[in-house]
Amino acid sequence: MTINTYMKTAFIFVLYKTPQSEINRLKTEVKNVGFKDYKIYFIDNTNNFQGYAAGVNQGIKNALKDSCDLFAIANPDICLANLKFPYFFDVSRRFDIWGLSMNQQDKTFYGGEIDRWRMSGGLIEKKPTKRFIETDFVSGSLMFIKKKVIDRIGLLDESYFMYYEEVDFCYRAKKAGFRIGVDTKLEYEHFEVSQDNPTKEFYLFKNRLKFLFKFGSFKQKVRELIRTPKTIFEEIKKRPFYLNFFSLNISSVTNKILHFVLFLILINYFKPEEFAIYTLAWTQIGLLLPLVDFGTTSYGLVHINDSIDKKVSELFSLRFYLSLITFVLTIILAVLFRYPTSILIPIILISFVIFANMLSGTYLILTSIKQKSYLASLVSMIFQICLVISLIVGVLITKQLLTVFVITFVLYNLYSLINFLLVKKDVGSLSLKIDLKQWSIIIKKSFVFLLISLLAGFYSKVDVLILNFIKGKEAVGIYSAGYRFLDALMFIVVAYNVSSMPLFSKLAKEKKGNIFVNKIKKDVILVFVIGMFVALGFYFLGPIILPVVYKSTYFESIQVLRIIIFALPLILLTSVFLNSIYALGKTKIVIYIFLFQLIFNIGLNLFFIPKFSFFASAYITLAGELLNTLLTFAVLYRVSPWNRV
């Protein structure tokens, strides 16, 4: 039976948020193909939460009621303009299920074949020498099926939801004796609008395994199980976001674990008053540290998309002079605060960390833009391992707090040199020329990020400074020892921000509202679940486990931790909302949020610390983060053009 003897042909398009203009285009193109007797079925899946296979099946059922004998299953993102009715005569005589050459992403594919080793489907790129070729399956973006195939093997398997349903259907058809192939002379365009859909790789991975376990042999399943580590690595490599996210997390986890061990050494060898010196020195450095960045990291991640090497080189010279200014101002501020020599000397020594942060931050910007931030995380991890091991050995040998600051001074300067060489290798020429015109362009766009960083930094550190001046170093030591656990977990926040910011920015720039909103929703669930799981674990297990860790002089730190740990899920939620706001170009609004938070924090700490000491700071921090989350969500909801977050 050839195509010219069919009574009726059904064109079935499964839609999902497809514009009316595209539907009209498809109607015109189908009409121009020239089928004598046909009917078009548009199955809209936008609001019914059913998958592609279910939509196809619904279309086939409707077409069967209308006595259709040939079914053209198609995605709406295809172009049929080059196809004409007479061309289909020959292919219909040879196959029961057939497809055509598919042009997609500047490549042409000729049906698909199944890897018998792993039972995975892949499209054929090599151009055949013959016009008609047999294949294991044809692309579901345009697939012609004769009625007798449906009568024999039934409909598509709806459990696949999307992807691999055509592989499954063709595999069943071939086992039943039907012929499957491609007419390589005829070609259509597949625009592949789902190319940037973050769920695509997930469904491909999931459904490939489903297909394997449904049809694969025992040996095939065992082989797949054995190669699981390799499979996981391959899947992560396909997803730059997850590769960078997990690599940054691994690096940060290693860093935090090592520094936490160092923290345990410090609180066991030094009294709260001495540990307070360590805390105050790093707090002082952190006050002006945002000046080093001047918002250029956020600027780079959001605004640098082309001419990367040139723009990073321009950022480098600006960041160097900013770090020099920050270094001088940090020393001056420490003198103005009239710190005793026991604190002033450590501040001077570790102030050289400012230059290391500038250089490592530049390398992170460069690698993040290139979707290779895992390289920066690897360098950071190696350095932190060497640093912390050296610090621990130094403390164990000398039992002197000054040793910590001297080793930090030496190794961070070495780290600066390493990052400088890495940036120079990737970018090429680096100079320290003063380009006020170009700097003014960068500063204009990044100044708002600087204000946010400064306000956020003051907001997060002001409680320690107020606690020191009102209650003294012992209170600072106890509070900081409890807060240290929360600080150790901030790697999750940093890794999330660096990995998600470029993607949020890209989606917003390309106005992919649906994907943007879906990412927000999924990220909110992910980070809140992670944050609450960690917080509840510390709250319930802290009183049982931590007394083993803390000396008796630090026992009150456990209660501080049980309060402040619940700030973690709130900080993670705030990060999702802030990244979205930055990507939407509404950054200035965030300044007012942090300014309000800073005033809120200072006022409450000044009022309650005299009476409740460090417990006041803990509760105020938690209340502040809750307020932050609510405010950033409210702002995002208001400024989002899609208004469905």
36 against 7, higher pLDDT: 36
Task: Over range 21-36, report the average pLDDT.
Answer: 91
pLDDT at 198 over 70: no
- Residue 430's SS3 state is coil
Q: Between 436 and 262, where is the model more confident?
A: 262
User: Is residue 200 one of the residues assigned to a domain?
Assistant: no
Domain hosting residue 122, numbered range: 3-194
The answer on 243 and 134 residing in a single domain is no
**Nearest Cα residue to 36 out of 101, 84, 82:** 84
Q: Check whether residue 380 and residue 469 sit in a common domain.
A: yes
Average pLDDT of the residues in 227-244: 68
Predicted pLDDT at 304: 54
Give the closest residue to 292 by CA, choosing from 231, 364, 388. 364
Q: Specify whether the backbone of 589 is left (phi greater than 0), alpha (psi in -120 to 50) or beta.
A: alpha
117 by Cβ neighbours in 10 Å (0-12 / 13-18 / 19+) ranks as exposed
Give residue 75's pLDDT: 92
Q: Look at residues 194, 225, 258 and tell me which one is the last residue of a structural domain.
A: 194
Is residue 127 one of the residues assigned to a domain? yes
Lowest mean pLDDT among 80-84, 197-201, 306-310, 377-381: 306-310
Domain assignment present for 426: yes
Residues 185, 285 within the same domain: no
Residue-level pLDDT at 324 = 92
More confident residue, 493 or 23: 23
Check residues 70 and 440 and name the one with the higher pLDDT: 70
Residues 319, 296: Cα–Cα separation, whole Å:
8
pLDDT-based confidence at residue 248 (cuts at 50, 70, 90): low
Please name which of 414, 320, 307, 302 lies closest in space to residue 362, comparing C-alpha atoms: 320
Q: Which helix (H) or strand (E) holds 60?
A: helix 52-65
- 405 is a domain residue: yes
305 pLDDT higher than 60:
no
- Alpha-carbon torsion (253, 305, 638, 450), positive or negative: positive
Cα 158 to Cα 2, 49, 214, 490, 526: the distances in Å are 29, 12, 14, 42, 27
Is 208 inside a domain boundary?
no
Do 500 and 565 lie in one domain? The reply is yes
Residue 555 counted as domain residue: yes
Beta-carbon neighbour count of residue 477 at 10 Å? Answer: 28
Assess whether 465 and 327 both reside in one domain: yes
Please compute the mean of the pLDDT values over residues 443-458 and round it to a whole number: 72
Average pLDDT, the chain: 85
pLDDT at residue 567, as a whole number: 94
Domain assignment of residue 351, yes or no: yes
Does residue 474 register a pLDDT over 80? yes
255 and 190 part of one domain? no
Q: What is the DSSP string of 543-574?
A: HHHHHHHS-GGGTHHHHHHHHHTTHHHHHHHH
pLDDT of residue 113: 93
d(CA 440, CA 321): 14
Domain with residue 75: its CATH number is 3.90.550.60
Amino acid identity of 359? L
What is the pLDDT averaged over residues 89-94? 84
Residue 71 backbone phi and psi in degrees, to 5: -120, 120
Angle between the 513-549 and 491-509 helix axes, to the nearest 10 degrees?
Answer: 180
266 lies in the same domain as 159: no
Same-domain check for residues 40 and 105: yes
**Shared domain check, 271 and 159:** no
Q: Give the pLDDT confidence score for residue 76 in this predicted structure.
A: 92
Indicate the range of 36-45, 249-258, 259-268, 336-345 predicted with least confidence: 249-258
Cα dihedral 112, 113, 114, 115 in deg (nearest 10)? -120
Note the pLDDT tens digit of each residue in 54-72: 999 999 999 999 999 999 9
- Look at 13 and 455; give whichever has higher pLDDT: 13
Same domain, 258 and 173: no
Q: Residue 180: what are its φ and ψ, rounded to 5°?
A: -130, 135
Distance of alpha carbon 237 from alpha carbon 609, whole angstroms: 50
Percent of the chain at pLDDT > 90 equals 43
Question: How far is the C-alpha of 360 from the C-alpha of 366, rounded, in Å?
Answer: 10
Of 157, 173, 194, which residue constitutes the final position of a domain? 194
Residue that is written with structure tokens 């997609």 in the block: 104
pLDDT for position 415? 95
pLDDT on residue 296 = 60
Q: What is the pLDDT of residues 608-619, one digit of tens each?
A: 999 999 999 999
Mean local confidence (pLDDT), 261-281: 90
Question: Residue 75: phi, psi to the nearest 5?
Answer: -80, 155
Neighbours of 332 (CB within 10 A): 11
Q: Which amino acid is at 257?
A: I
d(CA 563, CA 478): 14
**For residue 196, pLDDT beyond 60:** no
502 close to 582: Cβ distance less than 8 angstroms: no
pLDDT of residue 242: 60
Tell whether 116 and 243 lie within a shared domain: no
How far, in Å, are 74, 100, 119, 182, 412 from residue 144 at the CA level? Answer: 9, 9, 23, 10, 65
Cα–Cα distance between 188 and 623 in angstroms, integer?
59
End residue of a domain, out of 194, 217, 250: 194
What pLDDT sits at residue 438?
Answer: 67
For residues 603-627, average pLDDT: 93
Within a domain: residue 222? Answer: no
Radius of gyration over every alpha carbon of the chain, rounded to an integer in angstroms: 31
* 480 Cβ contact list (under 8 Å, min separation 6): 275, 276, 279, 464
The number of domains in the chain is: 2
pLDDT of residue 500: 82
pLDDT, mean of residues 46-56: 88
Q: Which range, 258-262, 307-311, 330-334, is most confident? A: 330-334
In a shared domain, residues 263 and 181: no
